[in-house]
Structure 1
C-alpha cells in the first residue's frame, strides 16, 4: 500500500539542535496538554529512579516505588536439562504477556559486547555534524532514515526526540545504502545486531505460541515465516530538555506491530509503562532486553495477550539513546484472531486487516494511545 502523503506538512526541526542551542524554555509545539504531562520526574540524576506521573487529571497518580515490570531469565530454555524450570519460565512469560504486556529478559543469547557496541555507535552517529545526518533525512512515505516527527497532522504537538529508522527484514527491503556510513563500523554492527535480535524474536514467538496452546510455529507462520517477517530498527535519541515536566520524548501509544525488542539506555531511565491508573518507570537491568507485546499479537491471540500503552519521559541533564527492534508480520498478510482461540463463548474480537492497512493509520496520525487497535473490535454476536 502506498502512502498518500509524500512529505512532512511543515519544515522539520531537529530536536537535538534545539537542545544544543541553549534555550531555557521549549517551543509551544512541544508542550503537551496538562492531562498528558509527567507530574513528577527526577531529572537531575542518571539513576534509575521511579517517577509516577498522572495518567489523567482525574486518576490517582500515586504508586509503589518498588514496582517494576517482570524480569525473566531465559537460561533454562537453552540448557535443556531442568524440565520443571523450563515450564516455570514458560509460565512466567505467559503471565507477563497476560498481565503486563512488558517484561525484561536476561541470559537471552545475544552478545553483551554486541549490545554495547550497537548502542555506543548509534550515540556516535547522533553526535555527527547535522549536515552529515541530513543526508539521510526521511519522509512519511516509509520513515526510513533520519527523522524528528511521527504523523503528518499539520500543527500537531510534537515529541521531544529524534530518531533513525531502517528496514532489516525481509532481506528484499534491506537497503544498506540508506544506512549511515559513519561511524565506519556502524553498518557492520547493524547487520550483526539485527541478525541476533531476529533470532531472539523467533524464540519469543515460539514461547508465546506454546503458551497460547498453539503449534510452536504458529505465530512465526502467521507473521509470514522466517524469511518474510517484517523487521525494523528505530534508534531513538532523546536530547536533554530544559522543561521535562511539560513534554514527552514519545507520546503514549501501544506498538502497532507484533512485538518490540528494546535495548534501553544503560545510564538514563525514561520508558514508562501504563499499569492500571499508574505510569511505571521501567528500571532496566544491565545487559537485558525489554520485550513488549504489540497490537498484532493482541489481535492474533484474540486479546489473551494485550499490547500496553507506554511513553517516554525526558531528562534535564542527560541525553538518552535506545534501540527498538520491531518484529512485525509481513506487510500484506491478513491479520486476524487464531481460529483455535475463537469459541462460541469467546468469539473473534477483531476484524481482519493487513499490517500495511493498519500502520497507515499510525503513519498518518502518529502515536494515539490504543485508539487504533480498539477501532478493530468486532461487534460480539
Structure 2
C-alpha cells in the first residue's frame, strides 16, 4: 500500500482486481439499492440531440443561427447533446483512448505509483469520499488537472505506455479549444455579449480557468444488474453505457463514432438561472466487455465533454 492511500478511511480495493479474480458474486459494497438500478424507468429512446458544429462556421448567417438555436434547445430541454464535426482529430481521440486502455492493463505495481488521495484526487483511484462503509461504484479511474498550469502536477502524469503524456497533452489542448467554442455559443444564446467587461462575463468566457480529465475504466461485471459504473447526483465502442435522466425516465445514449457528448455542469445551470439543465446521469455495466471513457471538464466544470 502506498503512503497516499493511508489518507483514505479504509483500504482501497481496485475494481479491476476484483473483476480479474474470477469472482461470481460482487461484494455487497458494490450492490446498489433497487431504486438506483436500471429497470422499468429505462427507455431506449428518444435519444439526446446531435448537433453538427460545422454549421457554426457557415458563411450563411441563418445556418449559424439555426445551429446555435439547436444547442440552446438541447441545453434547456436535455442538458446533454452530441456534437459532430467538432474539430478535434478523430485519430487523436482514438490514440488517446487506446493509450489509457493500455495504462489500465499495466501491472498493478506500475499503476500504484500514481495512487491518489482525497487531498486532490489527482492520479489513479477507485473510490470517492471519506465516509466509511458507503456504497461504491464499479470502476477505477485516473484524474488529471490540465489547467491552470500552477495546479498541474506532472509527477501524477503516467509515463507508460510510452508517449501517453504527450498524447494526453495534445488531446487536452484540442478539447479545451472545443469547450471554449461551445461556451461562447452558450453565452451568446444567454444574451452575454463578448465585448462586456471581464467581471460581468465571469467564467462564461474563460474556458481555461480550469480544465481536468477523468478517465473511467469499467471492468467486466458478472452481475451488471446489481451495480453501476458511475452514479452521479444530477460509447463505449459497441457497448452503450451512458444513461441520462430525462424527466423521470432514464434514456440510454446512443453515441455516434467520433462525436463528443456534452453536458451542462452545475455552475452553468446556476449562471443561466436554471434555464440550462444540469441533469443526473450514470454508467451502466456490461458482463462481457470492459469499457474506457474520457470525461473532460472545462471552464471550471461549467461544461463537460465526454469521449465514450
TM > 0.5 fold call: yes
Relative to structure 1, the CA distance from residue 62 to residue 158 in structure 2 (aligned partners, 3 Å threshold; closer, same or farther) is: closer
Could you tell me the TM-score, scaled by structure 2's length? 0.91
Relative to structure 1, the CA distance from residue 196 to residue 293 in structure 2 (aligned partners, 3 Å threshold; closer, same or farther) is: same
- Aligned with 1:294 (options 265, 277, 283): 265
Please name the residue that 1:279 is paired with.
Answer: 250
Relative to structure 1, the CA distance from residue 243 to residue 12 in structure 2 (aligned partners, 3 Å threshold; closer, same or farther) is: same
Runs of 4+ in 1 over 6 A off after TM superposition: 217-220
Please name the residue that 1:109 is paired with.
Answer: 87
- Aligned with 2:222 (options 242, 246, 269): 242
What is the RMSD computed on CA atoms of the aligned residues? 2.1
Please name the residue that 2:305 is paired with.
Answer: none
Q: CA deviation at 1:6?
A: 8.0
- Aligned with 1:213 (options 187, 191, 198): 191
Within 2, Cα distance between the matches of 1:11 and 1:21?
18
Within 1, Cα distance between the matches of 2:207 and 2:49?
31
**1:222–1:329 CA contact under 8 A, matched in 2:** no
Matched, 1:321 2:292: yes
Relative to structure 1, the CA distance from residue 227 to residue 281 in structure 2 (aligned partners, 3 Å threshold; closer, same or farther) is: closer
Unaligned runs of at least 5 residues, structure 2: 303-308
Within 1, Cα distance between the matches of 2:207 and 2:28?
45
Q: CA deviation at 1:21?
A: 0.4
Matched, 1:190 2:168: yes
Q: CA deviation at 1:224?
A: 8.1
Please name the residue that 1:10 is paired with.
Answer: 10
Within 1, Cα distance between the matches of 2:155 and 2:53?
36
Matched, 1:267 2:251: no
Within 2, Cα distance between the matches of 1:212 and 1:223?
14
- Aligned with 2:47 (options 68, 75, 80): 68
Within 2, Cα distance between the matches of 1:108 and 1:31?
38
**Residue-by-residue CA offset, 1:44-92 (whole Å, 9 max, x unaligned):** xxxxxxxxx34xxxxxx264x34110000000212x3121111110000
Q: CA deviation at 1:223?
A: 2.0
Please name the residue that 1:344 is paired with.
Answer: none
Within 1, Cα distance between the matches of 2:131 and 2:290?
27
Summarize the alignment of residues 42-121 of structure 1 with structure 2, pairs less than 5 Å apart.
53-54=39-40, 61=41, 63=43, 65-78=44-57, 80-121=58-99
1:173 counterpart SS class: coil
Matched, 1:140 2:111: no
Within 2, Cα distance between the matches of 1:165 and 1:103?
23
Within 1, Cα distance between the matches of 2:273 and 2:231?
26
1:132 counterpart SS class: helix
Within 2, Cα distance between the matches of 1:183 and 1:228?
27
1:290 counterpart SS class: strand
**2:82–2:261 CA contact under 8 A, matched in 1:** yes
Matched, 1:307 2:286: no
1:247 counterpart SS class: coil
Number of aligned residues: 296
1:90 counterpart SS class: helix
Within 2, Cα distance between the matches of 1:267 and 1:235?
18
**2:179–2:207 CA contact under 8 A, matched in 1:** no
